[in-house]
Amino acid sequence: MKATYKISLITAISVVIANMIGTGVFTSIGFQVIDLHTTFAILLLWVLGGIMALCGALTYGEIGAAFPNSGGEYIYLSKLYHPLVGFLSGWVSSTVGFAAPVALAAMALGKYVQSVFTNVNETILAISVVCILTLIHSYNLRFGAAFQRIATVIKVVFIVLFIIAGFLYAPQHSISILPTERSSIDIFSGAFAVSLYWVSYSYSGWNAAAYMTGDIKDPSKNLPKSLLIGTSIVTIFYLLLNYVFLYTAPINELAGQVEIGHISAQHIFGQQIGNVVGIVIALLLVSSISAMILAGPRVASSIGKNIAPLKVFAKENKEGVPYVSIITQSVIAIILIATAKFEDVLKLIGFVLTVFTFLTVLGVFVLRTKFKHIEKPYKTWGYPVTPILFLIINAWILCFGFYIEPKMSLYGLGLIALGVVVWFILKKLSPISTLDKNSIIESEIK
């Protein structure tokens, strides 16, 4: 008999926090300050990103509580719209949706370490970290969950200490968070819209616990809590961290740089201790990589349970861990690490993931009209304003994403189109049993 271990609310919150606090907050501000020159405008970006993430988390909580199964958007979109829509979201998540962020975090880790130890091969280091964490999470859910909790607690404690040290530092340059005439120019510029696109990536991961709903104790209650609490904590951290980066280092030093945390640490602690802190920041990314390796494969596993030709991805070990899906995701991540550029990977996933989160949040209106008979243990706070605000911001992000990066956005749409082809091939090979009427009845019983 397979293990029935379920993760706690604390672990679910740690998965959300670890998924969110990854490469974005430690790298993206270097690209934002190239065109935005006021602290007020830059911090406003992160406020808007936080509002968007919180609105999304509140909405996902209602949908996830109504459909308490692992798989995230794959489950939600299949039930709310059509199995094809769900499959396409699962296809994107299983191919690049999680593998690409894993690759990005591992690549950033390698860059941070190499900035201190120049003789380290960043690619080999990144691949090694992914391999080790894959082994950990392919073995046992209880052990993997414990590792995730510990890694996330260490990350949170370090970030709190880093923020405190930053506020105790006396900068040699002037900085003000108050709006100026230049702030209004920044806010209404195309650069602000472009930067919001990248900030939205930094906030991605707020929905992480939804992918492993079936592994959470009492998911109807704990899933909404984990999404809201985790997202709220990270939003506060992001605002404070970005202020510390701007407070401790001149904008001209940050512009165009990836290792923002390392640069800030050198100002706060001096070069030698700053190098040590830079290595610690790199190690913190282990928590992010771990969380994505833990949550992501549940999508492919859920697909495998519903679509016969893909049942190999649902294969579990005696501990109930979907090890085939975990290994597959990590193999894709390793290929991306070895072959792709950091910026290209970031641009590809930003657009396609936003498409499916947009459709999912829009689905709360479908849930309230089409599935009135399903019990809803949790309802979105602030409905309908909350989901509408999320949709407006994300529609803006999608439009500007396509405008500024048409090539990578088209690649993303091409990936979705390829998923449609795969769907019809699978449908010919075997009937698609994904989330039919019986599945909806089963959700009501639960």
* C-alpha torsion angle, residues 415, 306, 379, 396 (rounded to 10): 0
**More confident site: 281 or 432:** 281
Mean of pLDDT over the chain:
82
Average pLDDT over residues 278-288: 79
Q: Which residues of 286-300 are buried (b: 16+ CB within 10 A; e: fewer)?
A: bbbbbbbbbbbbbbb
pLDDT at 440 over 60: no
The pLDDT tens digits of the residues spanning 44-59 come to: 989 998 999 999 988 9
Tokens read off for 35: 């065109």
Could you write out the DSSP letters of every residue in 211-263? Answer: GGGGGBSSHHHHHHHHHHHHHHHHHHHHHHHHHHHHHHS-HHHHTT-S-HHHH
Residue 243 CB contacts under 8 Å (≥ 6 apart), including other chains: 39, 43, 166, 177
Identify the pLDDT of residue 154: 85
**Residue pair 49/350 in contact by the 8 Å Cβ criterion:** no
Count Cα atoms within 13 angstroms, Cβ side, for 26: 30
**Residue pair 58/386 in contact by the 8 Å Cβ criterion:** yes
Identify the pLDDT of residue 433: 56
Q: What percent of the chain has pLDDT over 70?
A: 92
Average pLDDT over residues 126-152: 85
pTM reported for the whole predicted model = 0.78
Identify the pLDDT of residue 442: 45
Spatial distance between the Cα atoms of 329 and 412, rounded to a whole number of angstroms: 18
Average pLDDT over residues 151-171: 86
Q: Which residues of 61-94 are buried (b: 16+ CB within 10 A; e: fewer)?
A: bbbbbbbbbbbbbbbbbbbbbebbbbbbbbbbbb
**Residue pair 267/40 in contact by the 8 Å Cβ criterion:** no
Spatial distance between the Cα atoms of 140 and 319, rounded to a whole number of angstroms: 6
- CA 256 to centroid of chain Cα atoms: 23
Single out the residue of 65, 51, 27, 407 nearest to residue 214, CA to CA. Answer: 65
Identify the pLDDT of residue 367: 92
Tokens read off for 364: 């709360």
**Three-state SS for 431?**
coil
CATH homologous superfamily for 9-441? Amino acid/polyamine transporter I (1.20.1740.10)
Average pLDDT over residues 326-352: 79
pLDDT at 246 over 90: no
Tokens read off for 403: 């405008």
**Residue pair 255/42 in contact by the 8 Å Cβ criterion:** no
Identify the pLDDT of residue 435: 45
pLDDT band at 178, cuts 50/70/90?
A: confident
Tokens read off for 204: 């991605």
pLDDT band at 343, cuts 50/70/90?
A: low
pLDDT band at 23, cuts 50/70/90?
A: low
Average pLDDT over residues 349-368: 87
Identify the pLDDT of residue 268: 86
The pLDDT tens digits of the residues spanning 73-83 come to: 888 898 899 88
pLDDT band at 118, cuts 50/70/90?
A: confident
**Three-state SS for 33?**
coil
Residue 333 CB contacts under 8 Å (≥ 6 apart), including other chains: 99, 100, 102, 103, 106, 130
pLDDT at 302 over 80: yes
**Three-state SS for 7?**
strand
Identify the pLDDT of residue 124: 92
Cis-peptide, bond into residue 384, ω within 30° of zero:
yes
Identify the pLDDT of residue 444: 40
